Amino acid sequence: MLSAGVIVLNYAVFATGWNIMGGFTGYISLGHAAFFGLGSYGTALLVIHTGMNWFLAALIAALVTAVLTIPVGFAALRVRGSSFVIVTIALVLVLQLLFQSWSTVTGGSAGLVVPRPFPDMLRPEHHETFFYIFLALLAVTLLTWTLIDRSRFGASLKGVREDEDKAESLGAPTGKLKLVAFVISAFFVAMAGGFYALWFGDLDPIFQFDIVLGSTVVLMALLGGVRFLFGPLLGAIVVGSALEYFVLNYGQSQFHLVATGLLLGLVVLFLPDGVLTGAAQLLRRFGPQSSSIREVSAEELRAQQQATTTTTKEADDERG
């Protein structure tokens, strides 16, 4: 259960970090697994070759990933819609091939073993420690999302999401806004990747740069609702728990991929704004309806008529 909890929290950080870009700007990126993989391998290589503190290694790897994201963002954010999606997919595939081929550094397909940051701990204690580490990282990511949401910067990003051309015509520097959101998003995703490498201890380019992983995280964010703070967290809990259930009961079969694909199709077709938005709309539909016309009972109506009649008679008597 602790292991599954760590995985779900990792998904939650990943999805919330993705939402800083995808939720605020409306740009759907399937390539954030590239930043996850760079954070993982960067942390592992720093720990292996320099022996530095594990947290400092993860932080430096995330910062380097954010810096590398700047030229990538300059190129990728020049296009929109499906073209942007294709560019992000290509980024993941290129890095996957690169890290597989660069076996002298990354271990290639044989994988890379990462030293455990707490070697004296038993496995249950190791899982528990990283559970709280990921929980703290999730809290920082959620706080960052909230600060952006309530800031002028966040309002400008929402303008890009609603109508980028109109926002640009009003003088908003849409290119810079998107790039900053892209870099911040990449930083938190890379932090999640670095902590995952330290927790799991074994890296493989096929998984770390997995396009399916990027698609699954997008599903989590869309399922919960990208406009809500806890939307990606809700999606991570639902989808992450389901994935762990399928793996536990069906092993390494592809059944969970079929279920994920079907769920993604259902969400896009029927809940494009997420479960939380759908639930709010359902409550408004079946809840008490506000109306400008106040309902009046028969007794109240008769009392009003009698009062009106009495007032009229008194006025006539005064005039008489």
Q: What CATH number did the domain enclosing 240 receive? A: 1.10.3470
If one counts the domains in the chain, the total is 1
Q: Would 41 be classed as within a structural domain?
A: yes
Spatial separation of the C-alpha atoms in residues 58 and 190, rounded to whole Å: 8
Q: What is the pLDDT of residue 76?
A: 93
* Residue pLDDT, tens place only, 14-53: 999 999 999 999 999 999 999 999 999 999 999 999 999 9
What pLDDT score was predicted for residue 243? 86
Q: Is residue 151 assigned to a domain?
A: yes
Say if 319 falls within a structural domain. no
Tell whether 295 is covered by a domain: no
251 pLDDT exceeds 60? yes
How is 116-179 classified by DSSP, letter by letter? PS-TTS-HHHHHHHHHHHHHHHHHHHHHHHHHHHTSHHHHHHHHHHHHHHHHHHTT--HHHHHH
Please indicate, yes or no, if residue 148 is contained in any of the structural domains.
yes
**What is the pLDDT at residue 293?**
46
- Domain limits for position 248: 2-282
Is 245 among the domain residues? yes
Mean pLDDT for the chain? 88
Residues 85-137: pLDDT tens digits? 999 999 999 999 999 999 899 998 888 999 999 988 998 999 999 999 999 99
Let me know if residue 309 belongs to a domain: no
pLDDT band for position 275 (50/70/90)? confident
Give the chain's radius of gyration (CA, Å).
27
Question: Terminus-to-terminus CA distance in the chain, angstroms?
Answer: 90
Question: What is the spatial distance between Cα 169 and Cα 165, in angstroms, rounded to a whole number?
Answer: 6
Q: Is 113 helix (H, G, I), strand (E, B) or coil?
A: strand
Q: Is residue 64 part of a domain?
A: yes
Residue labelled with tokens 């420690």: 129
Q: How far apart are CA 32 and CA 89, in angstroms?
A: 9
Residues contacting residue 5 through CB under 8 Å, at least 6 positions apart:
127, 131
What secondary structure letter does DSSP report for 108?
G
pLDDT in tens, 285-319: 776 654 444 555 566 666 767 776 666 666 566 66
pLDDT value, residue 319: 61
pLDDT above 90 coverage of the chain, percent: 65
Instruction: Name which of 271, 274, 146, 261 is nearest 212 in CA terms.
Output: 261
- Residue 111 is classified by DSSP as -
